[in-house]
Amino acid sequence: MSDQEDEELCVLVLDEELPRWLAANTTAVLGVALGAHGLIRTGPELEDAAGEVHPGIGTRPLPVLGAPGAELPALRRKAIGSGVVVIDFNEAARSSRSYDEYEKNIRMDGMGYLGIALHGPRKAVKSISGNLKSLR
């Protein structure tokens, strides 16, 4: 098995019909959650040619893919069933003004997913997301 096959992979899958502002928000929320859960490592701070210091950013690419919103629940279930870590951003979270409100809202029926983050072995993540295209 090659090193690349052993690697972990992380991708974001967003509803391809989201307005630009909501796609940006969804990406930011999922990125923060990935970092907070320790799933994305950051590199050390770096100094540029002018001597300015820049805090470290993620050390690996984080592809942002698009899928029809109606497919996100099935992709989420398939990922969980494959042992892939899934973090989701849903309508209950988006419409909440606090985490306490989100805790109440998440129990609603018909919660729509705006995006999901998938993190796990490259082969498992690719089997779920491999046919999806970059979000445009």
Q: Give 109's pLDDT tier (boundaries 50, 70, 90).
A: low
Q: Is 9 a residue whose pLDDT tops 80?
A: yes
Q: What letter would DSSP give residue 17?
A: T
Q: Is 5 a residue whose pLDDT tops 90?
A: no
Q: Give 107's pLDDT tier (boundaries 50, 70, 90).
A: confident
**Continuous H helices in the chain:** 3-6, 20-36, 72-81, 91-94, 99-105, 122-129
pTM: 0.90
Q: Is 1 a residue whose pLDDT tops 50?
A: no
Percent of the chain with pLDDT over 90: 85
Q: What is the mean pLDDT of the chain?
A: 92
- Domains, in order of start, for the chain: 3-134 (3.40.1490.10)
